[in-house]
Amino acid sequence: MCPKSFRKEIIYIPLLNEGTPVYRPAYGLQVGEQTYVVLLPSDYDPEDEEWEFPPGNIVLCKKQVLLGAEGGEPTTNERLVARSRIDPGKLKEIVDSDPSDIQFS
Q: CA-CA distance, 79 to 77, in Å (whole number)?
A: 6
Q: CA-CA distance, 87 to 90, in Å (whole number)?
A: 6
Query: Residue 105's pLDDT is what?
Result: 43
Q: CA-CA distance, 104 to 44, in Å (whole number)?
A: 22
Q: Look up residue 7 and give its amino acid.
A: R
Q: CA-CA distance, 65 to 62, in Å (whole number)?
A: 10
What's the pLDDT band for 97 if we cut at 50, 70, 90?
Answer: low
Q: Once rounded to an integer, what is the mean pLDDT over residues 87-104? A: 61
Query: Residue 76's pLDDT is what?
Result: 80
Q: Is the pLDDT of residue 103 over 70?
A: no
